[in-house]
Amino acid sequence: MKTTNHNQIHKKLIFYLEGQLAELERQQIEEHLSGCGRCAAYLNELKSTLLLLDENKMNEPGPYFYAGVKNRIQARRLKTAIFRRVLQPALLVLLLAMGVRFGVWVGNHTRIDLQSSEQAVLVPFDDLAEEPIEEFLLNLK
């Protein structure tokens, strides 16, 4: 090939390796490769890359692969269902009982503290006893 445009050759090399080029193009590329060490090295690198890709292709899963995955998912769901149906309510009841017990304990200690210290006298808010609400609403005019 008389042209020195290596990029055009590089673009066609994959088709050359696959055997998808016309006879004239294939001959031109072979002539160029015999005289150009740079493009020949690129061709060898491309071949090794394609071989590596062919070796690492994924195999089709076996006939029982999906059944095994489905069984594992169902087993995990069963474990989760047991936790949600049995252990989670039991844990909530235990936390509730601990909260009630803590509340009783705090209440007892507060009562003991109030008895040992001076107790504040609370004056009831009894201003409404002097005037019933009905009279207040009637005199609102």
Co-location of 51 and 75 in the same domain: no
The reported pLDDT for the residue numbered 141 is: 63
Q: Is residue 125 part of a domain?
A: no
- Under a CB-based contact definition with an 8 Å cutoff, are residues 1 and 9 in contact? yes
Look-up: residue for tokens 């003991």? 112
**Domain range for 94:** 71-113
Torsion angle (degrees, nearest 10) of CA 108, 113, 119, 124: -30
Co-location of 51 and 12 in the same domain: yes
Co-location of 38 and 77 in the same domain: no
The reported pLDDT for the residue numbered 127 is: 54
Q: Is residue 124 part of a domain?
A: no
| Gap between the Cα atoms of 99 and 91, Å rounded | 12
The reported pLDDT for the residue numbered 98 is: 96
Structurally, the chain folds into a number of domains equal to 2
Closest Cα partner for 29 from 19, 129, 126? 19
Task: Indicate the SS3 state at residue 129.
Answer: helix
Q: Is residue 118 part of a domain?
A: no
Q: Is residue 102 part of a domain?
A: yes
Name the token pair of 97: 């009982």
Closest Cα partner for 11 from 41, 43, 34? 43
Name the token pair of 121: 């006298």
Q: Is residue 134 part of a domain?
A: no
The reported pLDDT for the residue numbered 1 is: 41
The reported pLDDT for the residue numbered 96 is: 96
The reported pLDDT for the residue numbered 4 is: 53
Q: Is residue 44 part of a domain?
A: yes
Q: Is residue 15 part of a domain?
A: yes
- Under a CB-based contact definition with an 8 Å cutoff, are residues 29 and 3 in contact? no
Q: What is the DSSP letter of 50?
A: H
The reported pLDDT for the residue numbered 7 is: 83
The reported pLDDT for the residue numbered 123 is: 54
Kindly give the confidence (pLDDT) of every residue in the chain, 141 residues in length, as a single tens digit, with 9 standing for 90 and above: 444 578 888 888 888 888 888 888 888 888 888 888 888 898 889 888 888 877 777 777 788 888 899 999 988 888 777 777 888 888 999 999 999 999 998 888 776 655 555 555 555 555 555 666 777 777 776
